[in-house]
């Protein structure tokens, strides 16, 4: 249960020295200068983070994963990569947590530039839809932690879930879809279907995928 893992009481209590020891060798004010900007929600085995770490070496990023063993695996994977590639992969980390409950404990208002929801669990039954990681209610929370202009990336191989995620994003007043040209120009979009373990499995089986990529917009009329 949740009681088995520590939860920071506020974003200021997230210990960056543990997650990014080379970038934050000691506690202190340094921490205020740089913040986590990408979050991979339900990161699984961490393939996306590893790909993003190289694409955005100056950006701090974190995976959030509920399963203990999977989280430990990702930790080990990152440590091994840091050891074999000195100076690299210092900007990536993982935390075991329930993202449906604790996002505001980790990130301040407007802190994040990108959030990822890659191949989330489908929760097919209607009574379990409230367990889906994208919902109108949770989008309020994601809108809160995302900066204006920040982007939510979602992808799934389950058509019904793809439609669900898209319709939630479409109905939410603080998100707008990226244009086809913007999707084309964004190097991250290519990673959605190729970088994660789940994406690779779907690709091997020749499965179709459904993505929805939306921008956090300002709530005020410009």
- Residue 37 or 198: which CB sits closer to ligand SAM? 198
How far from each other are the two terminal CA atoms of the chain, in whole angstroms? 45
- State which of residues 7, 197, 211, 217 lies at the interface with ligand SAM (CB under 6 A): 197
Count helices and strands (H / E) in the chain: 10, 7
For β-strands 60-65 and 36-41, DSSP reports them as: parallel
- Residue 42 or 150: which CB sits closer to ligand SAM? 42
Q: How far is the CB of 86 from ligand SAM (least distance, A)?
A: 27
Q: Which one from 68, 121, 140, 157 is the annotated catalytic residue? A: 121
Phi, psi of 34 (to 5 degrees): -135, 135
Residues between 57 and 96 that touch ligand SAM (CB under 6 A): 64-67, 70
Binding mask 34-63 for ligand SAM (x = CB under 6 A): --------xxx-------------------
Rounded to whole angstroms, the Cα distance separating 60 from 89 reads 10
186 binds ligand SAM (CB under 6 A): no
- Residue 121 or 141: which CB sits closer to ligand SAM? 121
Angle at 186 between CA 185 and CA 192, to 5 degrees: 135
Binding mask 99-128 for ligand SAM (x = CB under 6 A): xx-----------------xxxx-------
- Which residue in this structure is represented by tokens 């990569």? 81
9: region left, alpha or beta (phi > 0 left; psi from -120 to 50 alpha): alpha
2 is catalytic: no
Phi, psi of 133 (to 5 degrees): -75, -15
- Residue 24 or 38: which CB sits closer to ligand SAM? 38
Cβ proximity of 61 and 84 under 8 Å = no
Q: How far is the CB of 145 from ligand SAM (least distance, A)?
A: 15
- List residues with catalytic annotation: 121
Binding site for ligand SAM (CB under 6 A): 42-44, 64-67, 70, 98-100, 118-121, 196-199
């Amino acid at each position: 249960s949740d009681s088995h893992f520590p939860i920071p009481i506020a974003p200021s209590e997230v210990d960056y020295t543990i997650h990014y020891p080379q970038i934050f060798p000691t506690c202190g004010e340094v921490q205020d200068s740089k913040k986590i900007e990408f979050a991979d929600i339900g990161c699984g085995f961490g393939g996306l983070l590893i790909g993003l770490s190289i694409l955005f070496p100056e950006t701090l990023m974190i995976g959030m994963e509920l399963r203990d063993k999977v989280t430990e695996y990702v930790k080990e994977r990152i440590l091994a990569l840091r050891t074999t590639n000195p100076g690299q992969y210092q900007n990536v980390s993982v935390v075991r947590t329930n993202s449906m409950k604790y996002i505001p404990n980790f990130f301040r208002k407007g802190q994040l530039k990108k959030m990822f929801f890659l191949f989330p669990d489908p929760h097919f039954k209607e009574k379990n839809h409230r367990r889906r990681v994208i919902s109108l209610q949770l989008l309020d929370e994601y809108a809160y932690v995302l900066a204006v202009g920040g982007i939510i990336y979602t992808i799934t191989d389950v058509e019904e879930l793809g439609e669900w995620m898209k319709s939630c994003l479409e109905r939410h007043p603080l998100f707008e879809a990226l244009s086809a040209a913007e999707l084309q120009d964004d190097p991250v979009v290519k990673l959605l279907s190729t970088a994660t373990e789940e994406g690779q499995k779907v690709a091997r089986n020749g499965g179709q995928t459904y993505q929805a990529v939306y921008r956090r917009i300002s709530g005020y009329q410009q």
